[in-house]
Amino acid sequence: MLKINEFQQLMKDIYLKRDQKQGLNKTFIHLIEEIGELAECLNSKNKEIIQNEIADIVAWIFSIANLLEIDMEASLLNKYPMKCPRCKNNPCICK
């Protein structure tokens, strides 16, 4: 199984040069475009299309993180330390 930091390195290897060339703002616009594409197909019940769009969104998120030198694995575990950050439970019991 691919770990989060391994996926981040993969995205760096493949896309960092491209992303640095286009810059943060254009990279962010690509993310928003992909979110729009997910919105369009979300009610289609076509799981294959939906999973592809979600993968695109995650890839652009990692591109942004790489441009800002943010460690995604550390960030995710820091924000979500195996429990809900609000109620501190797993599963969450927030109302």
Q: How many CA atoms lie within 13 A of 55 on its CB side?
A: 8
With CB under 5 A as the contact rule, the residue among 21, 69, 94, 95 that binds Zn ion is 94
Say which DSSP state 69 is in: T
Residue with smaller CB distance to Zn ion, 46 or 89: 89
Tracing tokens 């694995």 back to the chain, one arrives at 73
- Per CB under 5 A, which of residues 53..82 are in contact with Zn ion? none
State the nearest-atom distance from the C-beta of 83 to Zn ion, in Å.
Answer: 8
C-alpha closest to that of 6 among 73, 77, 75 = 73
| Binding of Zn ion by 21 (CB under 5 A) | no
Closer to Zn ion at the Cβ: 24 or 77?
77
